[in-house]
Structure 1
Amino acid sequence: MERNSWVDYAKAIGIILVVYGHVSRGVHKAGVHMDESLFQLVDSIIYSFHMPLFFFLSGLFFYNSFNSRGASRLIANKVDTIIYPYILWSLLQGSIETILSKYTNGSVTFSEVLSLAWQPRAQFWFLYTLFLVFVISSFLFVLFDKSRSVLLLVVFGVLYSINGDLSQNLIINLVLGNAFFFILGVWFDDIKLVFEKNYASLAVAFGALFIIGQYVFHWPMGMMYEDRGLASLVLATVSICFVIALSMCLSRLSIKGLMYIGASSMTIYLMHIIAGSGARVALSKFMGIQSPAAHLVIGTLIGLAAPLVGQAMIQRYRLSALLTAPKSASAEAFLLRLRQKQVA
């Protein structure tokens, strides 16, 4: 098994769930007839772990990057690769949603779009929160050695479990609701070999636990993904472990298309709402299609494919500034130049 190739498969699984989840919610909100109980169940299962999975995957390579760059340069790099696309695409998508609001489900205003500094909206909350988690983790690992990651894991696990009682602030809730999974990714490096040597048996074991856990959480316990606490923490962790082991199994099959989707997950994340919403509007408003199955399948496929086409165009016409900060506006490059001047 190629080292770490499983990560792209895990990203692919995650981003497919993200696109499907948003398409499904959009179709439901648009009033297309769907089985309500089935929609709520599938939605809750997906949302119980798909974003924690991305925080976990983001934490996997944090410590190596932290060691090689240092805290300040790492944060500057994340300004280029997270904050820059967060601002750019929040403005782009928000402007499109505002201009075309009469065709869509929402009624977005420009004032809401311009509130991105303190009120992240749509899917971009993830980038906003991820950057804050990177900053917090950088400061923590300046103070603590990686051997203390288990201690940090326990602390953030407790904070996650009691988060609702601590604060009603959106930003605090977002950070405390996801930092545990990021630190879990940092700590996973210590046990990665166990998974790599036993991925097949672990895929079966965690697959069974995933099914049992989702059943117990949603039926006997009568909970939904919004019910944050120890139960949802355990469920998300078990689900992430299942995806890890499954992805390691998939990496043996060398499914290049799936790997490409995973490697392109950031681009898909940035663009899929525009693509998926456009597909829904075209199907319902202009083609008169009201079949929920058609909306879900076509919307998900376009939500995945259109951003990949967009990425190909960006690469062909050298428009990388649509995805990451150009050198002229790079925070990391500015920091390096500043350090060189200080040395000189």
Structure 2
Amino acid sequence: MTTGSDRIAWVDYAKGICIIMVVMMHSTLGVQEATGEPSWMGALVAFAKPFRMPDFFLISGLFLTRVIDRPWRRYLDTKVVHFAYFYALWVTIQFAFKAPGFAAEDGWAGVAQAYALSYVQPFGTLWFIYLLPIFFVVSKLTRGISPLIVWPLAAALQIADVQTGSIVIDEFCARFVYFYSGYVFADFFFRFADTVQRHPREATALLVAWAVFEAVVVFSGVSALPVVGLALGFLGALAVITSGVLLWRYGLADFVRYSGEHSIVIYLAFFLPMAATRILLVKVAPGLDTGLIALIVTAMGVVVPLILHRLVRNTALSFLFERPDWAKLKPAPVSPPAKAS
């Protein structure tokens, strides 16, 4: 199940579903806050809440076995410095756009303080790529510890619903079990995807049954209970994997696959077209259905970053989405072999 390169198609489809749901959530909640009205898109956001981020983290851990045994320097370059570069770049870009508003409330000293704090407390929509390097490092540090010890501890942290006020601590406790599961149970998830591919009709029926079950559990309020939330995260991840495999198998919605292939592009840049479209529509079309506004804002949040990415490729602005050489750790020098005396 591959695309034209060595990418696995259903993984890109699953990532595409995840990133679209993330943009949908931010767009819809922003529109509802701006208008003061609920929307039918809000129901979709609530439906996806139990599995939206768990699935994203689980998929992020699927290929960790391929790289976790690399030397630390190479590992840190691709799994820490890579994300640190994009976080620092895009948090600076976000502050450049939001600084005037912050300054009007707290003064420019407050802006500088908030910017410095963003390197301790992840800012806005960027917390996902702030947390990923931490997950990669913790997974490598615990490489020699049995999953029979690490996984129950990670699950216990999720069930505990830790609330300290620190985004890093709270989200680590809530999400690490999914990332770690993608890593240690990768074989299971790939076998599951192969089973879906071989039995598409049965998989489709189960997907429909899951959707009904998910809706009942979410809108009855049961999804917020301990243990239930953990289970829903994994069930939702399997549902997204199933959806990705079925979309690939039937050749549908290639845009979703393309979005997944470039999910980091969307994640980094969606905040600006999302905010601009929301402000514009709320002002010029105040009578427009709130759900329709949220849908349009979501579409712009997904499409515009992809267009921007195509426009800046091979230009002086390519650094927006491609890490330049100066931001990479150079390989450790290799000592020449000792000469025989």
**TM-score interval for Structure 1 and Structure 2 normalised by the shorter chain:** 0.7 to 0.9
1:239 aligns with 2:218: no
- Deviation, 1:216, is 2.2
SS of 1:277's equivalent?
helix
Q: Which residue of 2 aligns with 1:340?
A: 334
The answer to whether the 8 Å contact 1:81/1:323 transfers is no
CA distance in 2, matches of 1:194, 1:49: 18
CA distance in 1, matches of 2:138, 2:337: 28
Change (3 A) 1:64 1:48: same
Alignment partner for residue 293 of structure 1, among 276, 291, 302?
291
- Deviation, 1:39, is 5.9
1:266 aligns with 2:268: no
Q: Which residue of 2 aligns with 1:123?
A: 125
Change (3 A) 1:151 1:291: same
SS of 1:51's equivalent?
helix
CA distance in 2, matches of 1:233, 1:207: 21
Q: What code does the residue aligned with 2:296 have?
A: I
Q: CA RMSD in A?
A: 2.8
Q: TM-score, normalised by structure 2?
A: 0.85
Change (3 A) 1:258 1:317: same
Q: Which residue of 1 aligns with 2:154?
A: 156
Q: Which residue of 2 aligns with 1:31?
A: 35
Q: Compare 6-15 and 278-287 and name the one that shifted more.
A: 278-287
CA distance in 1, matches of 2:193, 2:322: 33
Q: Compare 192-201 and 273-282 and name the one that shifted more.
A: 192-201
Q: TM-score, normalised by structure 1?
A: 0.85
1:208 aligns with 2:188: no
Q: Which residue of 1 aligns with 2:53?
A: 51
CA distance in 1, matches of 2:317, 2:297: 26
The answer to whether the 8 Å contact 1:214/1:235 transfers is no
**Number of aligned residues:** 325
CA distance in 1, matches of 2:244, 2:11: 7
Q: Which residue of 2 aligns with 1:15?
A: 19
Change (3 A) 1:287 1:206: closer
The answer to whether the 8 Å contact 2:24/2:45 transfers is no
Question: Pairwise mapping of residues 215-230 of structure 1 onto structure 2 (< 5 A)?
Answer: 215-219=216-220, 222-223=221-222, 227=224, 229-230=226-227
The answer to whether the 8 Å contact 1:207/1:242 transfers is no
SS of 2:35's equivalent?
coil
Q: Which residue of 2 aligns with 1:282?
A: 280
The answer to whether the 8 Å contact 1:60/1:185 transfers is yes
Percent identity, please.
24
CA distance in 2, matches of 1:297, 1:163: 31
| Structure 1 unmatched ranges of 5 or more | none
| Structure 2 unmatched ranges of 5 or more | 105-109
The answer to whether the 8 Å contact 2:159/2:230 transfers is yes
CA distance in 1, matches of 2:158, 2:336: 42
Change (3 A) 1:151 1:284: same
Q: Which residue of 1 aligns with 2:107?
A: none
Question: Pairwise mapping of residues 6-155 of structure 1 onto structure 2 (< 5 A)?
Answer: 6-35=10-39, 41-67=43-69, 69-99=70-100, 109-141=111-143, 143-144=144-145, 148-149=146-147, 151-155=149-153
The answer to whether the 8 Å contact 1:91/1:114 transfers is no
The answer to whether the 8 Å contact 2:51/2:237 transfers is yes
The answer to whether the 8 Å contact 1:84/1:324 transfers is no
Change (3 A) 1:297 1:168: closer
Change (3 A) 1:341 1:79: farther
